[in-house]
A and B are shown apart, each in its own frame.
Chain A
Amino acid sequence: MIEDLTDTTAGEIRARLARARDQQGGPTTGVVLNLIIMTDESRQHDAVRAASQAGRAHPSRVLGVITRDAGGDSRLDAEIRTGDGAPGQTVLLRLHGLMSLHADSVVAPLLVPDTPVVTWWPGTVPPVPSAEPVGALAQRRITDAVSAGTPAETLVALAAAYKPGDTDFSWTRATPWRSLLAATLDGGVGTVTGGVVAAEEHNPSADLLAAWLGRRLGAPFRRDVSGGPGITSVTLLTEDGEVTISRPDGRNATLSLPGQPDRHVALHRRETADLLAEELRALYPDEVYGETLAAMAASRTERR
């Protein structure tokens, strides 16, 4: 069911949400978190769709905040979606005029109490996520450096602004690689003396992956540029020879260990909904990300 409200207030939206719940026999009982999406009209549709897909694993009250021009009169328009196949509820909020600078005043009354808050910026990365009013409401703040023109510089800026609870999709995208690498080292490959991460040029996930490997293994990792898509290979130099995971097509990876047959495994690139679902699984600060981000920023500054 979709309800459109023009020139409304947060109080009115609250009342409608409560009524929708009463009529449908309590669809908010299972809501496990509040997800605030800070977006513009162009990204709104995809972001909300990803949120409702992720909502199957993490039923959420999704608040999509779309800020319109700050000039003109303040006005709040809302679109309330309930019970359309996905658990939880979605409210799209369009903020006009000066109100767009005070999004937190609209969002705060609409949060489900006793339930964690996550803020996600699918587009423009704010300079200091935790200092944004809607970021301060949240214990988890998700950005996506890829959406910026210069992702690596954006990550360096995010490193300077880092507060526990920050996270970035470029880190989330590295998880399948990281778990495959960790599993490979479970088998014991000997001491790693260095390595290479190859990916297309603007790929912040590869930068983070190289920083993570370098930090954890205490060895220098080089970042090479390849034709993509995404990350195409990771090579570890060990006493016994090279350990390589290569993925030239973005789908299937080959793991090569010295003196052992090649092994194949599917390693596909994931959809936004999967990335979001991973982020929503654990809401405490990701310290490993914080450390990796700092290491990556430090190595870039050094290089200059």
Chain B
Amino acid sequence: MTVPTEAALIAANPLRDPRDRRIPRLAGPCAVVMFGVTGDLARKKLLPALYDLANRGLLPPGFSLVGFARRDWTDEDFDRQVYDAVRAHARTPFRDAVWRQLSEGIRFVRGEFAEDEAFDNLAATLAKLDRERGTGGNYAFYLSVPPRAFPEVVGQLKRSGLSTPQPEHGRMPWRRVVIEKPFGHDLASARELNRTLDSVFPASAVFRIDHYLGKETVQNLLALRFANELFEPIWNRGYVDHVQITMAEDIGIGGRAGYYDGIGAARDVIQNHLLQLLALTAMEEPVSFAAESLRAEKQKVLSAVKLPDNLALGTARGQYSAGWQGGIEVIGFLEEDGIPASSTTETYAAVRLDIDTRRWAGVPFYLRTGKRLPTRMTEIAVMFQRAPHLPFAATDTQELGQNALVIRVQPDEGVTLRFGSKVPGSAMEVRDVNMDFAYGESFTEASPEAYERLLLDVLIGDPPLFPRQEEVELSWQILDPIENFWASQGKPEQYPAGSAGPPGADELMARDGRAWRRI
């Protein structure tokens, strides 16, 4: 007997009608198993996101949540933790009825990753949930734990049989695994990590979360480019001068010294977030928005990325030193707890990348990220060429800059279009003005948080917003030569906390006759 797939059943559902846009896709019966429930991410984002999904009516009846951790907790203790996290961080209003339903399905399994018994308990707990709450054998394993623990956890899932579903009620249940960045720290380790996962889960069951891709603005970038006639005709070397992609943070490394030292800004941010943003900005139009088509275009453009010939001239890195950030005196990176004074880890990284395609030949993409910069912001700025001829006196257009289309990813999500306009008065004077679409300002309250969207996509099994291993490897192929070069260059430049980065980054732009946008 053939077991019908989920997709086939849904296609055959007479209550579904593509014209009926009111009815959302709901996840089918399932349970989420969370490893690392005591972490910050679980408390601030994941657990509240699950409640918000329940509150929006997007979780299936019988949905269950199993926490797995070393703590000596009972189900009730864990329930209390989830409750506190929901009360503190959920975005939708608290409803007692919704909470009670969620709470009924909360379980806790105590154990170490090395303990066979703990995972046997987990398997028994899940089997019991299938019987009592009808979770149908569909489990998503969320590994909110350091990557070094992956082999052990994944190995245990295999050993306990949790990774291999058995047909139930004439259907084949699914098993999915969700991992967070970092996906390795270089190409070799990324491949090693993938081998670990691959040995147990098929590639289609592995969901890599890059929460940037769950943000509305990032998805809006696709709408902006491909739903409009206005932008795509000029989205090429004929009109674009260069592109700047920035992720600036005002905070330092905080308590993440253990993770951050030896990793640095480029591996932490450029490899995943910024290269994904680059791919979405630069890729060709996908033939459809199906995961495969989207991925094909992203991979094509990532494989066409070319590094600067001279890495010394085309990259810059820095470490923040003590200074004043936003009116507060802060210490330097080398003085942070847990960072050795000899650390060469960068907290700022900038790099010029070129894309060897007909569309982008000669149009540099400048990527930068850093900590302890003046403010927190992420944006993609497409900077257009100057008009080839200006029929005004030179003095009239002194204050006219380049036209720019800026996609603000966070905070204050939105789009700004910058162009020249006449200053009112009798003289002809042209100055830059902004046309602003304040997407974030007006819509954030009701729009789902990135993690909500991504968790729901995992449970539905909808993969377009998740990078695949191929993209991860391509990103490391871009970054590895830069990291190797930096490793041979000794200490990074220092930049005072609260400044816009090291002088080397400004020089990088100045050599090309350009300047960074103000952070």
Contact = CB atoms under 8 A, between A and B. Distances in A.
Given A29-B438, A30-B438, A266-B101, A261 B9 contact: no
Contact of A261 (B102, B132, B437): B132
Contacts of B4: 188
Contacts of B445: 56-57
Nearest to A30: B442
A122 B22 CA distance: 21
Interface in B140-185: 169-171
B98 A288 contact: no
A251 B97 contact: yes
A262 B171 CA distance: 18
B446 interface: yes
A179 B60 CA distance: 10
Interface string B1-32: 00010100110111111011111101011000
Nearest to A257: B134
A188 B438 contact: no
Interface in B112-161: 131-134, 136
Given A59-B442, A288-B17, A264 B62 contact: yes
Contacts of A277: 446
Contacts of A263: 29, 60-62, 133-134
B101 A252 contact: yes
Centre residue among A57, A186, A257, A277 by max chain B CB count within 10 A: A186
Q: Interface residues of A: mostly helix, strand, loop or mixed?
A: mixed
B57 interface: yes
Residue among A30, A57, A287 facing the most chain B CB atoms (10 A cut-off): A30
Interface in B85-109: 95, 97-98, 100-102, 104
Contacts of B23: 175, 178-179, 182
Given A182-B23, A253-B61, A265 B14 contact: no
A175 B22 contact: yes
A188 B26 contact: no
Contacts of A259: 169
Contacts of B19: 287-288
A283 to B, nearest CB: 11
Interface in A277-301: 277-278, 282, 286-288
Contact of B134 (A59, A87, A176, A260): A260
A185 B22 contact: no
B251 interface: no
Contact of B61 (A172, A255, A286, A287): A255
Nearest to A270: B57
A216 interface: yes
Contacts of A257: 134
B485 interface: no
Contacts of A10: none
Contact of B15 (A182, A251, A260): A182
Nearest to A55: B442
B431 to A, nearest CB: 18
A196 interface: no
Nearest to B102: A266
Contact of A188 (B29, B171, B447): B171
B16 A182 contact: yes
A69 to B, nearest CB: 38
B40 to A, nearest CB: 27
B62 A265 contact: yes
B29 A179 contact: no
A32 B22 CA distance: 19
A183 interface: yes
A181 interface: yes
A112 to B, nearest CB: 14
B210 to A, nearest CB: 26
B289 interface: no
Contacts of B100: 252, 266
Interface of B: 4, 6, 9-10, 12-17, 19-24, 26, 28-29, 54-55, 57, 59-63, 95, 97-98, 100-102, 104, 131-134, 136, 169-171, 436-439, 441-443, 445-447
Given A56-B446, A57-B445, 19 more contacts: A30-B438, A30-B439, A59-B442, A178-B15, A180-B26, A180-B57, A183-B28, A186-B9, A186-B10, A186-B28, A187-B29, A216-B15, A262-B134, A263-B29, A265-B62, A265-B63, A266-B100, A288-B17, A288-B22
14 contacts: A26-B436, A56-B445, A57-B447, A186-B6, A186-B28, A187-B28, A188-B9, A251-B97, A254-B61, A257-B134, A264-B101, A266-B54, A266-B95, A266-B102
